[in-house]
Amino acid sequence: MTTQTNGGRLSTLSAAYIIARRDFVASLFSRSFIFFLLGPLFTLLVGGLAGGIGARVQQNVEKPKLGIAMSEFDVLAMTRARHELAGRLGNAVPELVEVRRLKPGESFDPAAALAGSKDNLGAIVSGTPAAPVLTGPAERIEAWQGEIELIAAEAVGTGPEHYPTVTLGKIAGTSTADTRQSRVLTAQAGQVLLFLLTMLLAGMVLSNLVEEKGNKIIEVLAAAIPLDAVFLGKLFAMLALSWVGLSVWGGIIGVVWQGSGHSLANYPAPAVGWPMFIALGVIYFSLAYLLLGALFLTIGSIASTIREVQMLSMPISLLQIINFFFASYAISKPGSAIELAAMIVPFSSPLTMIARAAQDPALWPQAVVIAWQVLCVALLVRIGARLFRSRVMQSGPARGPGRPGLVRRLLTQKNEPALQGEQ
């Protein structure tokens, strides 16, 4: 890989490979990697805390509705009954969605209607108010049986002395609403995992650069190879390291999970299917890390001291938490302007897109956003390298005693000479 260009300089990719190889090997056999392997424990802890946000999102997610397919008279009676009950019981009674007003003698297949419905239907009630038939997944219709009896009794005017018997028509699989809820859960889990891992890794790459500055080797690197290559090498070394960590942990968790009799096939598949979801998960994890890592590297490169690095990285970490909330909120607003904005903002984009992959089978938006994120990574690396070259390599080692740090310079007057001791 150490091939030279015709001009006598390593290409950016070859140089990045040298840096990445050095960083990867050095980090793999370091104590910090052990801590990285312990990272998922931290993930579980913080994941528990993040559960509160998840519950909030679940509340905001659209509730499953009850479809109704009866004669016109019965539909109106049931709807009125539901309305009256809702006034007394609140949201305990499911919302009714009219699927069809049946003509006398018209046949109707509730299972087919349920499968083909675009509404968020949990089940369909058909028949008559005196003899209602509730069709849907077992779990859902058992949960709603009592509510349907109440509505039907109200509709026929027999309650509370007599409640019509509800006939249950169980169908295999899950309803649209249940699938949607499961996918939301998958989306949330994907987001939390992505967020925590990227934060952990970006912090590591920042420490790596600070250590590099401490080693004072950065000028040797800058003299020999493009700074873009230094940045790229560092980013990809840590990414490769994270893949090792994920493989180790994924392997352990997989074995334990399989051993306890679980299988992905038992869970509702994400909209894009499990294989594609996992592939997209890896891609978005990589891109989320590269985006945040490039930003942290930029900070690390322009800051003069570890204190400056901490001061500058704290707001970025907070912003990333806000991005996480933003992307979490966007789950409950599919197709809205909020989701679109979360897809476009580079730092919330991977979190939003992994959630979208769980909920929406369309792959072309994924491809477009991946291309956008790659572009953002390239831009950030380039900007970081330029900032580094312009801000850091401007002074020799013998700085004057009064040379202010970056933060002080930012807070004080703009044109203050920064190089009193410049050599």
Partner 1 sequence: MMKLGDGAGVSNAGGAAARGLAIEARGLVKRFDGFTAVDGVDLAVPEGAIYGVLGPNGAGKTTTLRMLLGIIDPDAGLRRVLGHERPQEMAHTIGYLPEERGLYPAMKAYDAIAFLGALRGLPLAEGRKRGKALLEEHGLGYAIDRQIRQLSKGMAQQVQLLGTLVHEPRLVVFDEPFSGLDALNQGKLERMIRGLAAKGTTVIFSTHVIAHAERLCDEVAIIAGGKVPFAGPVDVARDRIRPQVRLETRASDGAWRRALPADARHEGAFWYFSLPDSGIEPLLRALIEGEAGILSLSIERAGLHDAFVAIAGEAAARALEENVAEEQGR
Contacting residues toward partner 1, per CB under 8 A: 2-4, 7-10, 15, 18, 22, 26, 30, 215-226, 389, 393-398, 400, 415-423
Least distance (Å) between residue 221 CB and partner 1: 7
Contact (Cβ atoms closer than 8 angstroms) between residue 289 and residue 201? yes
Q: Which helix (H) or strand (E) holds 301?
A: helix 274-302
Smallest gap from residue 237 Cβ to partner 1 (A): 13
For residue 202, the minimal CB distance to partner 1 (Å) is 22
Task: Compute the radius of gyration of the chain from its Cα atoms.
Answer: 29
Instruction: Outline where DSSP puts E strands in 90-243.
Output: 96-102, 121-127, 132-137, 167-171
Residues of the chain by 3-state class (helix, strand, coil), percent to 5: 65, 10, 25
Quote the least distance from Cβ 19 to partner 1, whole Å: 9
CA–CA gap between residue 47 and residue 298 (Å, rounded): 28
Which of 222, 244 has the CB closer to partner 1? 222
Least Å distance between CB 22 and partner 1? 6
Q: Please say which residue, 45 or 419, places its beta carbon nearer to partner 1.
A: 419
Q: Quick one: CA torsion of 281, 282, 288, 289, rounded to 10 degrees? A: 150
Which CB atom, from 72 or from 416, has the smaller least distance to partner 1?
Answer: 416
How far apart are CB 390 and partner 1 at their closest, in Å?
8
**Structure tokens of 107?**
């046949």
What is the secondary structure of 34-101 as a DSSP string? HHHHHHHHHHHHHHHHHHHHHHHHHHHSPPPEEEEEEEHHHHHHHHHHHHHHHHHHGGGSPPEEEEEE
Shortest Å, Cβ 235 to partner 1: 18
Q: Pull the structure tokens for residue 133.
A: 């038939």
Nearer to partner 1, 223 or 411 (CB): 223
Cβ closest to partner 1, residue 361 vs residue 421: 421
Q: How far apart are the first and last CA of the chain?
A: 36
Nearer to partner 1, 206 or 369 (CB): 206
Nearer to partner 1 among residue 72 and residue 422 (C-beta) = 422
* Residue bearing tokens 């850091």: 392
